[in-house]
Structure 1
Amino acid sequence: MLKQYFKRIGAKRMVIMLLGNVFLGMGVSIFKLSEMGTDPFSGMVMALAEVLGIGYPVFLILVNLVLLFVEVKFGREMIGAGTVVNACLLGYIVTSFYTIWVRMFGGVPQNFAVRLALVCIAIIVMSFGVSMYQTADVGVAPWDSLSLILIKRHHKLPYFGYRIIGDAIAALVCWFAGGIVGIGTAVCAFGLGPFISFFDTHFSKKLVEK
């Protein structure tokens, strides 16, 4: 069954999905390095992991397992190889890149201009990763599936409306848990769309269609 699944989706889409997760994790790690906030979900998980004294990668897997249960029950058709990779490996990718950046910079940068530049770089890198990951279309991440499940079962709001509500709740939990909610958080919640669309049109879709 697994052999048939991987044969159906093809090696190219698998590679694109894997690279997308690598760039996504790299983007999150750069946001974290800036200390100006990252995407609301990552920020929430990082803050709660810190409070509970659990490593971020391990806690992310635990949270994703809970969300995966919801996805299995209400959106099983959204589950694929990309779901598993994102749920299990993204935290380790983020942590690995963050360790590299800290060593390169000799610590967390304190200069505001450098930190702001890091946010700008993170936007591009993360958008590129999300574009590749989503365009590969081999499974939806557990957190991303929630908005899709809600719009499928309740048509009161568009996808963007449910996504904003979810991100707002995650940002609030992050803030109450002592995490960083800042420019990076706002950018991720409201500003990634145009960048992702740009990479979809000019790179990711062309790569998949070749």
Structure 2
Amino acid sequence: MKITKRAGMMILGILFIGLCVSFLRLSGFGVDPFSAMNLGISGFIGWSFGTWQLLMNAVILVIVFFQARHCIGAGTIINMIFVGYIADFVCWLAQDVVQIEMSLPLRIIALVLAQLMASMGVALYMVADMGIAPYDSVAIIIEKLTHQKIPFHKARVLSDVVVVIVGIAFAIASGAGIWAVAGIGTVINACFNGPLIQFFKTKLEKM
């Protein structure tokens, strides 16, 4: 695969992830698991979502460096820097500038689009093989350390459930409540993201 095509897939995948997070936040149905943890913690300590997510990614990146160094590349750095800020920008644009009224139909559409973008986005930059987000490497590390006894899609569900619990705990501690970070959207994302990433990844690899 040509480097230009791989770079395009990587950039498109990262854009999809940023849009996914923003759509989930706008839907009000709960965000994806990793964002749920970061929203919960950032709200608790009073940081912006984008800044805390960048720091969290940097911490995970250290672990990835020692356990799955092959996952690190240009896409890793671009993802960890820009996804959180893309989400913050789109939410600011929609809520403060355009001031979109999120009716129930719009919220449902945002939720569905977010899930598709999440899975397709991760699959795109995994296939591009130019580095993946630190958090997306966690399931790969679990699969590696368990000698594939826990396959990628199950490892992804496991890691997603853990970070959601952490996010909820911090959201409750900050007084924001569970629904500030988690909801039906979080459950859908946690349960289907792993299998859908695997599905899209298989399809893209055949292209």
Give me the TM-score of the superposition, normalised by structure 1: 0.83
Question: Is the counterpart of residue 132 in structure 1 residue 124 in structure 2?
Answer: yes
What 5-or-longer segments of structure 1 have no aligned partner? 1-7
| C-alpha distance in structure 1 between counterparts of 2:144 and 2:202, whole Å | 26
2:103 is equivalent to residue 102 of structure 1: no
Residues in 2 aligned to 1:28 and 1:142: alpha-carbon distance in whole angstroms: 16
Offset of 1:139 from its aligned partner? Answer: 0.9
Are 1:185 and 2:186 counterparts? yes
Q: Per the alignment, do residues 182 and 151 of structure 1 end up closer, same or farther by CA in structure 2, a change over 3 Å counting?
A: same
Q: Superposition RMSD on alpha carbons, in Å?
A: 2.3
Cα distance in 2 for residues equivalent to 1:164 and 1:200:
16
After TM superposition, list the pairs within 5 Å mapping 1:35-184 onto structure 2: 35-103=28-96, 106=99, 109=102, 111-155=103-147, 156-178=149-171, 179-184=180-185
Return closer, same or farther for 1:61/1:96 CA change in 2, 3 Å cut-off: same
Query: What code does the residue aligned with 1:190 have?
Result: C
Deviation at 1:107, TM superposition (A): 5.2
Q: Percent of pairs identical after alignment?
A: 33
Q: 1:125 to 1:165 in 2, by over 3 A?
A: closer
1:18-75: CA deviation from partner (whole Å, max 9, x where unpaired): 1210111111100110111111011110111111111111111111111011011111
> Which runs of 5 or more residues in structure 2 are unaligned?
172-179
Separation (CA, whole Å) in 2 of partners of 1:158 and 1:23: 25
User: Shift of the alpha carbon at 1:200?
Assistant: 4.4
Cα shift readout 1:94-118 (whole Å, capped 9, x = no counterpart): 1112222224662562x33332222
Aligned counterparts of 2:199 and 2:17: Cα–Cα separation in 1? 16
Runs of 4+ in structure 1 off by over 3 angstroms are: 192-202
SS at match of 1:169: helix
Distance 2:118 2:145 in 1: 29
